[in-house]
Structures are given as structure tokens and as C-alpha cells.
């Protein structure tokens, strides 16, 4: 399934076919993995792999949807540099990776509980105090969320 977005092709794939698709793309010439990131939608997490072809400079994005608590296969055999990117995804979103050499926290302290970038993890803001009896406010709520 492909959709074009700002000129970049987006391929959606299921978890089982992920490694085959990435291996096929890599042998076709998309040899550089530019970015590995994720977006959290509370019950599920969308993981994105952004690939680039160094000879034609075309980019393609591969999207995989994984439910909370499920694990993805690792791509460190194809790209050794994906090691830290997967550790960051584990730390921030709680996405596990099967076959990763050393999956532990990278940005938060080792004994931190919780995965900060998930949407239901609170920001833990301190309300700002005001004088003259005005109620304390959190900075992110001063301009409310408007759809």
C-alpha cells in the first residue's frame, strides 16, 4: 500500500513482513537508514523507518503499527547504526525489540520507571504561582488545546 506525501512514498507493512521488506529495499539501493522513530496513539504505536538511496537520492518511508506490549524484530543486522535508535524507542515508548544485542535505557536513568514519550505519561509540570490571589496555572494550559 503506497501513498505519496510531499513527494515521499510511504509503505505500510505488517510486523511479520517487516524484515523482508527492508532487506528487499536495501538490496534495491535504499542503503541508508536516515531515521527510526515512532508516534504513540495510546493503544498502538506507529514505528517509522526512513530510508534513502545514496545514488538517486530518493527517500521512502516504511510504517509498521505495533500494539502496546508487542515486540518488533531488530534491524541491527542490516544497519549496525540502528542500535541506539532502537534503545531510544524502548526507553521513550516501551517498544521491545527481539534480537537486539543490549536493550537498556539510554536517555533516562537506569532505574526510571515508565516510558516518557507515551501520550498517557504526564508531563509533570509545576504550576506557576501568581500574586494577588490569582490561581496557579500550568504553562501548557494557558493557551488551551483547540481543534
Partner 1 sequence: MLNDLHDDILELNLGPQHPSTHGVLRLKLRLKGEEVVSAEPVIGYLHTGIEKECETRTYMQVFTLVDRIDYLSGPAEEQGYAGTVEQLMGLQVPERAQHIRVILLELARIASHLVWIGTSALELNMSSIYMYAFAEREKILDLFEEMSGARMFPSCWRVGGLAYDLDPHFEENTRKFLKDFPRTWKDLDALLTDNYVWRTRLEGVAIIDKNLCEAYMCTGPVIRGAGVPYDIRKVYPYLTYNEYAFDIPTQPEGDAFARYMVRMEEMKQSASIVEQALGKLKPGPVIVDDRKVALPPRRELVRSMEAVIHQFKLVSSGIQPPVGEVYSCVESARGEIGYYLVSDGSNKPYRLRVRSPSFPHIQVLKEVLKGYLLSDVVVAIASVDPILGDVDR
Partner 2 sequence: MGMTPKEKSPFLVAPLGKLINWMRANSLWPAQFGLACCAIEMMSTAGSRYDMARFGMEVFRASPRQSDVMIVAGRLSQKMAPVLETVYDQMLEPKWIVAMGDCASTGGIYNNYAVVPVDRVVPKVDVYVAGCPPRPEALLNGLILLQKKIKKDDNLFGWHEST
61 by DSSP, 3-state: which? Answer: strand
CB-based burial, 95-132: b 16+ in 10 Å, e otherwise: bbbeebeebeebeeeeeeeebebeeeeeeeeeeeeeee
Count Cα atoms within 13 angstroms, Cβ side, for 121. Answer: 12
Q: Does 84 bind partner 1 (CB under 8 A)?
A: yes
| Grid coordinates given for 30 | 535504499
Candidate segments 13-21, 40-48, 94-102, 133-141, binder of partner 2 by CB under 8 A: 133-141
Nearer to partner 1 by C-beta: 18 or 33? 33
Residues 6+ apart with CB under 8 A from 38: 45, 46, 47, 48, 89, 92, 93, 95, 117
Residue 126 site contact among partner 2, partner 1, none (CB < 5 to 8 Å, cut-off depends on kind): partner 2
Q: Does 126 bind partner 2 (CB under 8 A)?
A: yes
Phi, psi angle pair for 54, to nearest 5°? -70, -25
Longest CA–CA separation in the chain, Å: 67
Candidate segments 12-20, 64-72, 103-111, 129-137, binder of partner 1 by CB under 8 A: 103-111
Q: Does 146 bind partner 1 (CB under 8 A)?
A: yes
Q: Write each residue from 56 to 95 as x if it is in contact with partner 2 (CB under 8 A), else as -, in one continuous string.
A: ----------------------------------------
Cβ count within 10 A of residue 79: 17
Interface with partner 2 (CB under 8 A): 108-109, 112, 116, 122-126, 128, 138-140
Interface with partner 1 (CB under 8 A): 5-6, 8, 31-35, 37, 39-40, 48, 50, 54, 57, 59, 61, 79-81, 83-85, 105-109, 116-117, 121, 123, 140, 143-147
Amino acid at each position: 500500500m503506497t501513498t505519496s506525501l510531499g513527494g515521499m512514498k510511504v509503505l505500510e507493512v505488517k510486523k511479520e513482513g517487516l524484515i523482508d521488506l527492508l532487506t528487499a529495499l536495501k538490496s534495491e539501493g535504499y542503503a541508508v537508514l536516515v531515521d527510526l522513530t515512532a508516534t504513540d496513539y495510546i493503544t498502538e504505536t506507529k514505528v517509522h523507518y526512513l530510508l534513502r538511496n545514496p545514488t538517486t537520492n530518493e527517500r521512502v518511508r516504511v510504517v509498521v503499527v505495533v500494539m502496546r506490549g508487542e515486540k518488533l524484530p531488530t534491524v541491527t543486522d542490516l544497519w549496525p547504526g540502528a542500535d541506539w535508535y532502537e534503545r531510544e524507542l524502548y526507553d521513550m515508548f516501551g517498544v521491545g525489540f527481539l534480537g537486539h544485542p543490549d536493550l537498556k535505557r539510554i536517555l533516562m536513568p537506569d532505574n526510571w520507571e515508565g516510558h516518557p514519550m507515551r501520550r498517557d505519561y504526564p508531563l509533570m509540570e509545576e504550576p506557576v504561582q501568581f500574586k494577588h490571589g490569582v490561581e496557579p496555572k500550568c504553562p501548557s494550559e494557558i493557551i488551551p488545546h483547540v481543534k
